Amino acid sequence: MVLGSMVIGALVLAGCGGGDDDAAEPAASGAGSAELTTVRVGAIPIVDVAPLYLGQEVGIFADHGLEVEPFLAQGGAAIVPAVLSGEAEFGFSNITSLLQAESRDVPLALVAPGSAASGDPAADFAAVIVPADSPVQEPADLAGTRVAINSINNISDTVVRETVRQDGGDPSSIQFVELAFPNMVAAVADGSVDAAFAVEPFATVGVSQGMRVVAAPYTLTDEALTVAGYFTSDQYAAEEPETVQAFADAMAEAQQYATEHPDAVREVLGSYTNIEPAIAQELTLPSYQTEVDRGSVERLLELGVEDGIIPEGVDLDNVFADLQ
């Protein structure tokens, strides 16, 4: 999911983490009869943005004086221009894309966390899958293979390279093949690629068809890796700081609610995705952080520079909105 020349976008990821707590009663809206500020938010029909929908459903955004109107897009090619033009106030993107945007002086700022690595390499919401009879047994074995990723020169190849590098393999010998997430399982099955870095629900689908997981690159890159988050334009952040702060606070509360109520997350998926209910119950949910892990963002920046997909000189402070 990349914004053409600006290389912006939001990965089509999906979920990891989560337990089996029962969903609590919806939060009572404290907004009363007060007028709410409507904000449009560009999102992607994936598990990562479930807290956005859940927060609106249970009244969290209303408690912060906001009415959220999500609009769905396949990636940043639609979301970023809408935010930059003022047609939308906020959007969803992976962190590497935002770093690349900053390197190109695109006036965007990160305001709230989205999906994050689970911290458990045995159960993360994105994984490298291979056929059951594949000779690939460890991450280092991916050297010299064809690996499907959804967007070349973005967060996927960064974390796959780093995982192979950590295991003693040569990441420069990997042949990355750009492929949409929904097509990855079939490509692995028919031998078009040797492996795929798939996100949920596609990782679960692959395993259900007998494929094996050989690595969890997000967690192996950084146990607290912030994979994606919500952004606004620099102009909107400057003109409407109170609304931006309210959105950031509401998102943090919604993320916490999602963490505490995984059953509610699985239930809300049916309201904005085509994930089948049975798969929704089986897939691994992302970790929903309440704060962006700055250290992991810095790590993605360093790795992006090392791999040549982000130029040197990006000021990390400029990536973050100036919030209270």
pLDDT at 78: 84
Q: What is the mean pLDDT of residues 146-159?
A: 94
Q: From edge to edge, which strands make up the β-sheet containing 66-72?
A: 66-72, 37-43, 90-94, 228-233, 108-113
Q: What is the mean pLDDT of residues 102-127?
A: 96
30 vs 209, which has greater pLDDT?
209
pLDDT at 143: 97
pLDDT at 19: 33
Does the 4-117+224-319 domain belong in CATH 3.40.190.10? yes
232, pLDDT greater than 90: yes
Mean model confidence pLDDT for the chain: 89
CA dihedral defined by 37, 229, 178, 16, rounded to 10 degrees? -110
Q: What size, in residues, is the chain?
A: 324
**Per-residue confidence band for 75, with pLDDT thresholds at 50, 70 and 90:** confident
pLDDT at 323: 81
CATH number of 126-221: 3.40.190.10
119, pLDDT greater than 70: yes
Cβ–Cβ under 8 Å, residues 90 and 41: yes
247, pLDDT greater than 60: yes
Q: What is the mean pLDDT of residues 158-168?
A: 97
DSSP letter string, 77-105: HHHHHHHHHTS-SEEEEEHHHHHHHHHTT
Q: How far is CA 275 from the centre of its chain?
A: 17
Domain spans in the chain, listed from the N-terminal domain onward: 4-117+224-319, 126-221
Q: What is the mean pLDDT of residues 248-263?
A: 98
Q: What is the CA radius of gyration of the chain?
A: 19
**Per-residue confidence band for 74, with pLDDT thresholds at 50, 70 and 90:** confident
pLDDT at 324: 65
59, pLDDT greater than 90: yes
Model pTM? 0.86
